[in-house]
Chain A
Amino acid sequence: MSTVEQPHAEQFTSREQQSFAGTFGMWVFIASELLFFGPLLFGYLYLRVHYPEASAAASRHTDYLLGTANTAVLLTSSFLMALAGHAAESGKRPRAMRMLWAVAALGLVFLVLKGWEYHKDFQEHLFPGPHFRPEQDGRLQQLPGMQLFFILYFVLTGLHAVHLTIGILVCLAMAWRLRRPPPVGVSADAIEYAGLYWHFVDVVWIFLYPLLYLVGRAGG
Chain B
Amino acid sequence: MERHTRIRPLVLTWLALLALLAISAGTSWLQLGWINTAIGLAVATVKVVLVGLVFMRLRMSHPLLRLTALAGLTTLALLFILSGADYATRSAVQAPWQHPSTVAPRLGR
Chain A residues at the B interface, C-beta cutoff of 8 Å = 1, 16, 19-20, 23-24, 27-28, 30-32, 34-35, 38, 41-42, 45-46, 48-50, 64, 68, 71-72, 75-76, 78-79, 81-83, 85-86, 89, 129-133, 142, 144, 195-196, 199-200, 202-203, 206-207, 209-211, 214-220
* Residues of B46-82 whose CB lies within 8 A of A: 47-48, 51-52, 54-56, 61-62, 64-65, 68-69, 71-73, 75-76, 79-80
A45 to B76, CA, bound (A): 13
Chain B residues at the A interface, C-beta cutoff of 8 Å = 1-3, 5, 7, 10-11, 13-14, 17-18, 21, 24-25, 28-33, 36-37, 40-41, 43-44, 47-48, 51-52, 54-56, 61-62, 64-65, 68-69, 71-73, 75-76, 79-80, 83-84, 87, 92, 98-99, 101, 107-108
A132 to B54, CA, bound (A): 43
Q: A86-B5, A130-B108, A220-B31 are in contact. List 8 more A-B contacts (CB 8 A).
A: A16-B1, A31-B69, A31-B75, A199-B55, A203-B48, A215-B37, A216-B36, A219-B31
Q: Is the CB of B10 within 8 A of A35?
A: no
**What are 21 A-to-B residue pairs whose CB atoms are below 8 Å?**
A23-B65, A27-B68, A31-B69, A34-B72, A38-B79, A38-B80, A42-B84, A49-B87, A71-B21, A71-B25, A75-B21, A79-B11, A129-B108, A195-B56, A202-B51, A203-B51, A209-B24, A210-B24, A217-B28, A217-B29, A218-B30
Contacts of B71 in A (CB 8 A): 31
Q: A196-B56, A218-B31 are in contact. Are A45 and B44 (CB under 8 A)?
A: no
A220 to B14, CA, bound (A): 33
Q: Is the CB of A79 within 8 A of B72?
A: no
Q: A27-B68, A35-B72, A199-B51 are in contact. Are A214 and B10 (CB under 8 A)?
A: no
| From A200, A207, A218, contact of B29 by CB (8 A) | A218
